[in-house]
Chains A and B, each alone.
Chain A
Amino acid sequence: MSAITQVRERLRTLVFRAREERELAEELEFHLEMEAASNRGRGMSPEEARRAAFLSFGGVERTKEEVRDGWGIRVLEELAADIRFGWRTLRKSPSFAWMTVLTLALGIGANTAMFSVVNGVLLRPLPFPQPDRLLSLFPEAAIPHGGLEILRERTRSYDHLAAYGFPAAISLTGSGEPERLVGMAVTPDLFATLGVGAEIGRPLQPGEEGAGRDHVVVLSHGLWERRFGANPAVVGSMITLGGVDRLVVGVMPASFTFPSSRVDLWLPAPFAPNDIGIHWAGGWLHPVGRLRAGATTAQAAAEIHLLVPAVRNGFPWHMPADWGANATAIPLRDAIVGDVRTMLLVLLGAVGLVLLVACVNVGNLLLARAATRQREVGVRSALGAGRGRLVRQLLTESLLLSLLGAAAGLLLARLAMPVLTSLLPADMPRLENLGIDARVLGFTLALATATGIAFGLAPALRAFRPDAYGELREGGGAGESRRRWHLVGGLVAAEIALAVILVIGALLLVQSLWHLLEVDPGFRKQQILSAAVSPSEVRYTNDVQRAAFYEELLRRSRVLPGARSVAVGSGMPFGGGIDPSVFLIEGRPAPGVAGTEWPTTDACLTVSREYFHTLDIPLLRGRLFTPADGTAAPRVALVSRKLAETYWPGEDVLGKRFRFPGSHAPWWTIVGVVGDVKWNRLSLQTNSGLYLPLLQGPIGAMRIIVRSAATADAVTASLRHTVTAIDRSSPVSNVRTMEELLAASVAQPRSIMLLLALFAAIGLALGAIGIYGVITYAVNQRTREIGIRMALGAQTGSVLRLVLKQGAALAALGIALGLPIAVGATRVLRSLLFGVSATDPLTFAAVPLLLAAVALLASYLPARRASQVDPTTAIRTD
């Protein structure tokens, strides 16, 4: 056997199924044996009979070859012919082809772009080895280090159990500008658990959490490039973080962004089993486990549930009985992705509706074209083209269109990705490295095939009615055009129904956002600028020194450009530093007895005297802080109205005393009641607050809040200058206007609203084009009828009405179809809505009116043309 034949044989077995080969050989062998047997019956010897059989057969291999030719080549040849033919027909009607491909490109492109976000955020596996074995425990909450230790002792489901904390700001000082970085406290075995190594140096190692060994840090690739000029020598050197010198042991690769790309560096979480404060109250952690071989997520979740009481009882103080009730173990990816799933899926659904609208439009274009091609089909069918062959031809054409559309759509998606990403909330996890990968390509291809078949099938099947030959006669019958009108009209009605759903959804979200922005947060929103100012940990080591730093800052800041009022606070609405805090009320039983729970405030802030004036938080009773509330004076506090009403209902709260947990904690006297504010979310109820004066409360890094009529840039520059003048190693960071902070807090509702509105606009535009096209088509079909009517004396107005009625009927049908579906569809929006019901009657009444108006407008143009028909020419057409 020559090399070439061998290769050919190989190829053949690849191309043709081995089974077919076997069966062919068997069939021919059967033939030869039957022939030989018959020959033997005529008296030949077996050898002779066999030889004669071969002779009369005439070349077994050649026959096989010819049979094989019939196996698949024919289909391929026909396909090639169909594609060539389709391409030629498309080139003959370029405007149709452009229109179709562009419509599809829009639909498929929007879907591809949206899907690549869904893919990147929800589907793409985490960039760690065996990412599906990584679980997040207590995803809804977190546990203290002590709790983690109990889990480590008791659990049997994991090879590794590590944990990471919450991103926390930390100052980098020393060489260059002081800078606030985002640090992430982790247990040192986190890196081994995830299965990642460092790019340079090494990651943290087990054992580096102990006091004395924990002055180490691992840098992110981004920080290393930005701050250290990608100098490898930084590994092994010391840097000053939060006033502490730490050894840089490694730099992580660029792909390592855990748990988000905001993190600049990773530090060992404080570990001090003998210090109850640190071990059970400081630095709560999210445990991450790598499942042991053979263990399943379900087992792990069940196990966590069983271990919750052990962790709860491990606390040195009484925890509420329902603590950890929702503890479970979920895939780490889901925990990192968090609550954006609903939003992304809603958007993907909406963009899918847009594609459906695009499909309907293209289907209509094809149907209209099928009308003009009816005779071609008739001729071909008369010439002997089989049914299946013709359907295949028409489907090939629509698939060709949809694939062209998909190619253009991919291009469009690539171009649209930056826009889409900028519309998505900036804090959405895993947004970095979005792109078009194999899965997205597969999705687009599947989409293109499905759409090609979806919009191509109806016209293709239309080509087959029993009387295809009838098309050879000039013109179709009246019955035919009515049947086609039903199909086309039905499609347009479906399109309007889809547009109704999209527009209602978008309008609900617009109202929701509007309500959100109208909410009174309880403080002033305008002309407020704030920045984090962190006194150097080296120079200001205690509360007294830090208070002096801030007093000095406040004194100097009065001259900031345009400054009306300046304050500092350990936290501020929408600007961070808001943490719940517990306290004890004088004269009430200590919590922990008989299941009583700790009184809790949503925020406990240390603030300067001007805080309330700067933010315009009203004083309701009593007094604000005064200069007399100094270090040595009796400790005083302000409470918000909600806190007063919750814990001192019907009592006069002024003069009441409370203290914080701890054996020798001093008593604080409430001297005033201020208004409630919303701390973090406009959509939630107002929160409670507890305020302590600057010279008496605990002081860490604080935010300065400036109310100024000057531009943010001018204030910022001046502020930086002021801070540097006091201390060069105290960084100013996170400069934000209140508008920016509020906008960031509604970033998610805003982006989902914007995108859905965009999709609804596209859907509405496509729907309008669809109605326009169909009514134009209908008018053209009826030109002669209209001409006769006018010749018989019909007025322009009545012709106008005739055509508009057709459009109105379609719109009415579409709306009637769309409304009930919208009622169901908007239910998925319920969790995203604020201040408006998912079945808001006003919206559900207004949108049909809008759609009706659009439909009438779209049919008005062809209607007017029809009414201006010249009867004499019209009658002669056709």
Chain B
Amino acid sequence: MTTDHSDLLQGTLEMLVLKTLSFEPMHGWGIAQRIQQMSQEVFQVNQGSLYPALQRMKGKGWIRSDWRTSEHNRRARYYELTAAGRQQLATERRSWERSSGAVNWILNAVPEPEVP
């Protein structure tokens, strides 16, 4: 009975991480850079808060990690999407679209004419 949608921002960060990792396995710093780029610098990811989020997602089985050699020939921890993570991304995407669609619909609604 775990619902982690209490904190919208946290949930959003997780979704963005999942999206980032859906392209290729990446280390923490790379994920932060990629999110910043993709969101056209709108989201300023607090880099520190990324790591607890990664740990949580690992705990849920959405991502797994292993040590690899980075592009600069250094040892770095790389994160990778699991099948469950891929599924989770799809789920989150659907629910995001649904709720953002709902918000849009509300925002664009016109007042109904009053019944005489």
Contacts and interface: CB of A to CB of B under 8 A. Distances in A.
Interface of A: 23-24, 26-28, 30-31, 33-35, 37-38, 56-60, 62-63, 66-67, 69-71, 74, 380, 383-386, 388-389
Given A27-B77, A60-B48, A63-B51, A70 B56 contact: yes
Given A30-B29, A56-B47, A67 B75 contact: no
A30 B74 contact: yes
For the complex of A and B, the 9 pairs showing the least CB-CB separation, nearest first, are: A70-B55, A66-B52, A63-B48, A34-B29, A58-B48, A31-B29, A27-B77, A67-B55, A57-B47
Contact of B76 (A27, A69, A74, A383): A27
B59 A57 contact: no
Interface string B36-55: 00000000001111011001
A385 B59 contact: no
Contacts of A383: 1, 3
B60 interface: yes
A28 B3 contact: no
Secondary structure dominating the interface of A:
helix
B48 A70 contact: no
A386 B60 contact: yes
B1 A31 contact: no
A28 B51 CA distance: 9
Given A34-B29, A67-B52, A70-B52, A386 B61 contact: yes
A59 B67 CA distance: 24
Interface in B1-41: 1-3, 27-30, 32-33
Nearest to B30: A34
A386 to B, nearest CB: 7
Contacts of B59: 70, 74
Contact of A63 (B2, B49, B77): B49
A592 to B, nearest CB: 82
B51 A66 contact: yes
A675 to B, nearest CB: 82
Contacts of B61: 386, 388
B1 A380 contact: yes
A66 B56 CA distance: 10
Q: Which of A67, A74, A389 gathers the greatest number of chain B CB atoms within 10 Å?
A: A67
A385 B1 contact: yes
5 contacts: A27-B77, A63-B51, A70-B59, A385-B2, A386-B2
Contacts of A70: 52, 55-56, 58-59
A388 B61 CA distance: 10
A799 B100 CA distance: 60
Given A27-B77, A63-B49, A384 B29 contact: no
Nearest to A23: B77
Contact of B75 (A26, A34, A59, A60): A26
Interface of B: 1-3, 27-30, 32-33, 46-49, 51-52, 55-56, 58-61, 67, 70, 72, 74-77, 84
A57 B48 contact: yes
Nearest to B31: A31
A35 B47 contact: yes
A59 B30 CA distance: 19
Q: Which of A23, A34, A37 gathers the greatest number of chain B CB atoms within 10 Å?
A: A34
Contact of A69 (B28, B52, B77): B52
A380 B3 CA distance: 11
Given A70-B59, A386-B60, A62 B48 contact: yes
Contacts of A59: 48
A74 to B, nearest CB: 6
B116 to A, nearest CB: 44
A389 B47 CA distance: 30
Contacts of A35: 29, 47
A30 B3 CA distance: 32
Contact of A58 (B29, B30, B47, B67): B47
Contacts of B33: 38
Given A384-B1, A385-B1, A386-B61, A58 B55 contact: no
Given A66-B52, A70-B56, A388-B61, A31 B47 contact: yes
Nearest to A81: B1
Given A30-B28, A31-B32, A63-B52, 14 more contacts: A24-B51, A26-B75, A28-B51, A30-B70, A30-B77, A31-B47, A33-B74, A35-B47, A63-B49, A63-B51, A384-B1, A384-B3, A385-B2, A386-B61
A31 B52 contact: no
A27 B75 CA distance: 9
A67 B59 CA distance: 11
Contacts of B76: 27, 30
B1 to A, nearest CB: 6
A380 B30 CA distance: 36
Contacts of B70: 30
B90 to A, nearest CB: 14
A59 B27 CA distance: 19
Contacts of B1: 380, 383-385
B19 to A, nearest CB: 20
Contacts of A23: 67, 77
A377 to B, nearest CB: 12
Nearest to A37: B72
Nearest to B60: A386
A873 to B, nearest CB: 37
Nearest to B52: A66
A127 B51 CA distance: 57
Contacts of B46: 58
Contacts of A67: 51-52, 55
A27 B27 CA distance: 9
A386 B83 CA distance: 13
Nearest to B91: A384
Q: Which of B55, B70, B74, B76 gathers the greatest number of chain A CB atoms within 10 Å?
A: B55
A76 to B, nearest CB: 12
B84 to A, nearest CB: 8
A63 to B, nearest CB: 4
Nearest to A26: B75
Nearest to A28: B51
Contacts of B74: 30, 33
Q: Which of B2, B28, B60 gathers the greatest number of chain A CB atoms within 10 Å?
A: B2
Contacts of B2: 384-386, 389
A858 B48 CA distance: 66
Contacts of B32: 31
B78 to A, nearest CB: 10
A38 to B, nearest CB: 8
A78 to B, nearest CB: 9
